[in-house]
Amino acid sequence: MKILTAVSPLFVLLLVISVPTVAQNPVAGDQALGTKTYDQFAKPEFCGTSCHIDFYQQWRQAMMSQAYTHAWDEIEYFKLAVPHADIDPKVAGVKAGCNGCHTPMAFLAGDVPPPKPEANSRANESVFCDVCHTVTGYAGDVPHNFNFVSDPGTVKYGPREGAKSPAHETRKSEFLTTADFCGTCHNEKDPYGIWVKSTHLEWKEGPYAKEGVPCQHCHMTFAPGRSAAMAPEQPDVAQHLFHGAHDNGKVRGTIELRVHPDVRQAEPGERVKFTVALFNQKTGHKFPTGSAEERLVWLHVEATDAKGTVYQLRVDRKGFAGEDYTIGANTLAYQDMGIPLHLPDFKGIQRDGIPEGDRIFRLPYLDPQGRMTIQQWNTASLGPDYRIGPRETKLETYTWSLPANLPSGPVVVKATLNYQKLPRPLVEFLGVPAEEADIVEVNSHSTTITIL
Ligand code: HEC
Ligand code: HEC
Ligand code: HEC
Ligand code: HEC
């Protein structure tokens, strides 16, 4: 007995030591910094000029090709994240880490920080062909924080067996066709251990994962054609669309709306309750998702009386903890931008920039002092997750005390769901191109009551 108990821990220890050297434990995530060189990767022009012309042109107009150069990315990285990393040791890692997803080749080459976009360096290639097509898998249990395993070289991984190319070897990779592949960049845990981006995790707990519908089915849709100029026809070639928040057509119609009153006829002074049903028919994750710290989705309800006077209706409170974050208000936020901007005692700027009293579907990110932030790397906790899940229906009510002077005749009540990538006060304050605050109408619906 004694001998056995003495031996078995040693045996276990030996096993533990030998496992990592034998199989896996590939270098990925933070550990991969500086483990490759720029010239190990083929340029997107090499792939796209004579062979993969359509994919190249699709990619060029997707955000993937601008993940490093897009104006708002440049501003957030160079004006906020880098100076913040230099001041606060807790977030020092983001100076390199942002690029693990936004320009993986520069990260793998150990270029920290990479030259600014205006220098036109290879960092500008962002998330390009050879980054994705040389990934062999991911390290760890949960795909997140660029924990993909990169193996650049002559072998390109793709979804099909037996693809022949004059330019490189090809090998089939199941992994590329999974949502886990996308999750390596579309899940992010910040230095405080908070999930600040969780598109893949939201998908995984929703209906589409259960039905076997990965990200590719909605963002890289399949069509008959050729995957390269010299390739044979296939019935299902993956289109490199990667369309999302920057494609208004993708956003429009995501949520269906219906509004109805509790009575059809009423007299001035009475109260009428309008209920809006919002059904998420389109997204495979929550809406909004991804950079949820800065996305605004809000429900505006307006009544127009028989004489054309317009009244804004305010959402009824439900009474959940943190609900104030989900109702448009005249209040200040984002005070922690004062750290990187060197503005001590910065009072913040307007939180929403939308009508007060409108319902907002959002996930508030809170800094270590509990104030709302868009600096996702400085998020120490989250507020209530009041976004609309895949195939979820939410009901909102707007109770209206009819004004005493309301003229008789029809009143049309219209519910409109709006979407904005970045709140307007932030766009103005940080000098981000105005189009990032363009309002997209997701959907609208109207109903009518009669005033007696
Ligand atoms: C059933 C279809 C569907 C599936 C599956 C799906 N999406 Fe989406 N996705 C959408 C739609 C529609 C939008 C546009 C509305 C929006 O912005 O959420 C979108 C938006 C996005 C955005 C932009 C979000 C933003 O605010 O910038 C990203 C990023 C994204 N999807 C990534 C993914 C990833 C990663 C997966 C898999 C884990 C995935 N999607 C699965 C339909 C889908
Ligand atoms: C963000 C990662 C990513 C980027 C960037 C990317 N691809 Fe892909 N590509 C994929 C995935 C994922 C698939 C497989 C999708 C599936 O079948 O589910 C794919 C499929 C392909 C295929 C095979 C298509 C088929 O259906 O047979 C080719 C060829 C290809 N990509 C070339 C390119 C080229 C060229 C570029 C650059 C212009 C590029 N890819 C950029 C992820 C990427
Ligand atoms: C190497 C990291 C990486 C991988 C892998 C990756 N993405 Fe992305 N993706 C990004 C980054 C970074 C952005 C943000 C671009 C920007 O700065 O707006 C992005 C943006 C997007 C968007 C939003 C575009 C918009 O209009 O706002 C969609 C949709 C998307 N990715 C889908 C996918 C899908 C589907 C996969 C898997 C097939 C995938 N991504 C794999 C890094 C990645
Ligand atoms: C784990 C991967 C990952 C890391 C690390 C990461 N990002 Fe991103 N980032 C993404 C993806 C994916 C998107 C696209 C999500 C979406 O469309 O909402 C994105 C979107 C963005 C956007 C664009 C939002 C918009 O409005 O389109 C900005 C700006 C940004 N990131 C900046 C940063 C900065 C600064 C850092 C470092 C502090 C960082 N990111 C770290 C993956 C990452």
| Number of Cα atoms under 13 Å in the Cβ half of residue 98 | 25
Residue 4 has pLDDT above 70, yes or no: no
Residue 215 has pLDDT above 50, yes or no: yes
Residue 271 has pLDDT above 90, yes or no: yes
Break the chain into its structural domains and give their ranges.
25-238, 248-451
- Per residue in 42-96, pLDDT tens? 999 999 999 999 999 999 999 999 999 999 999 999 999 999 999 999 999 999 9
In the three-class reduction of DSSP (H, G, I as helix; E, B as strand; rest coil), residue 260 is classed as strand
- Cα-based angle 206, 238, 130 (whole degrees, multiple of 5): 100
Residue 283: pLDDT band with limits 50, 70, 90: very high
The predicted pLDDT at position 412 comes to 98
Residue 26: pLDDT band with limits 50, 70, 90: confident
Point out the ligand nearest to the CA of residue 295: 1
Q: Does the C-beta of 186 come closer than 6 Å to ligand 4? A: yes
Question: CB within 6 Å of ligand 1 — which residues?
Answer: 179, 182-183, 186, 199-200, 203, 208, 213, 215, 217-219, 244-245, 250-251, 254, 282-285, 287-291, 295
Residue 296 has pLDDT above 90, yes or no: yes
Residue 167: closest CA among 227, 235, 104, 234:
227
104/125 Cα distance (integer angstroms): 9
Residue 441: pLDDT band with limits 50, 70, 90: very high
Q: Which amino acid does the sequence have at 391?
A: R
139/4 Cα distance (integer angstroms): 35
Would you say 259 and 301 are in contact if contact means Cβ atoms under 8 Å apart? yes
The arithmetic mean of pLDDT across residues 163-189, rounded, is 96
Residue 162: pLDDT band with limits 50, 70, 90: confident
Tell me the whole-structure pTM to 2 decimals.
0.95
Residue 192 has pLDDT above 70, yes or no: yes
Point out the ligand nearest to the CA of residue 148: 3
Residue 401 tokens, joined: 């005390």
Point out the ligand nearest to the CA of residue 430: 4
Strand partners, 92: none
Neighbour count for residue 411 (Cβ, 10 Å): 23
Give, using CA atoms, the residue closest to atom 6 of ligand 4. Answer: 98
Q: What is the mean pLDDT of the chain?
A: 94
- Cα-based angle 298, 303, 305 (whole degrees, multiple of 5): 165
Residue 71 tokens, joined: 């104006």
- Ligand 4 atom index nearest CA of 421: 26
Q: Kindly list the distances between the CA atom of residue 195 and the CA atoms of 187, 360, 390, 421, in Å, as whole numbers in the listed order.
A: 7, 21, 19, 19
132/151 Cα distance (integer angstroms): 10
- Per residue in 350-396, pLDDT tens? 999 999 999 999 999 999 999 999 999 999 999 999 999 999 999 99
The predicted pLDDT at position 318 comes to 98
Looking up tokens 């409170």 gives: 317
- Ligand 3 atom index nearest CA of 104: 1
The predicted pLDDT at position 21 comes to 38
Q: What are phi and psi of 242, to 5 degrees?
A: 45, 45
Question: CB within 6 Å of ligand 3 — which residues?
Answer: 63-64, 67, 70, 73, 101-102, 104, 127, 131-132, 181-182, 184-186, 215-216, 219-220, 242-247
The arithmetic mean of pLDDT across residues 192-206, rounded, is 98
73/306 Cα distance (integer angstroms): 47
Point out the ligand nearest to the CA of residue 70: 3
Residue 107: closest CA among 39, 57, 202, 36:
36
Residue 354: closest CA among 314, 399, 405:
314
| Segment holding 94, helix H or strand E | helix 94-102
Would you say 282 and 253 are in contact if contact means Cβ atoms under 8 Å apart? yes
Would you say 270 and 383 are in contact if contact means Cβ atoms under 8 Å apart? no
Residue 109 has pLDDT above 80, yes or no: yes
- Per residue in 120-148, pLDDT tens? 999 999 999 999 999 999 999 999 999 99
148/26 Cα distance (integer angstroms): 9
The predicted pLDDT at position 17 comes to 42
Q: Collect all residues with Cβ–Cβ distance below 8 Å to 33 and sequence separation of at least 6.
A: 96, 100, 107, 108, 110, 112
Residue 16 has pLDDT above 90, yes or no: no
Residue 3: pLDDT band with limits 50, 70, 90: very low
Please say whether the dihedral angle defined by the alpha carbons of residues 111, 380, 195 and 250, taken in this order, is positive or negative.
negative
Q: Which CATH architecture best describes the domain 248-451?
A: Sandwich (2.60)
Would you say 156 and 133 are in contact if contact means Cβ atoms under 8 Å apart? yes
Please say whether the dihedral angle defined by the alpha carbons of residues 98, 100, 101 and 106, taken in this order, is positive or negative.
positive
Give, using CA atoms, the residue closest to atom 1 of ligand 1. Answer: 284
349/334 Cα distance (integer angstroms): 7
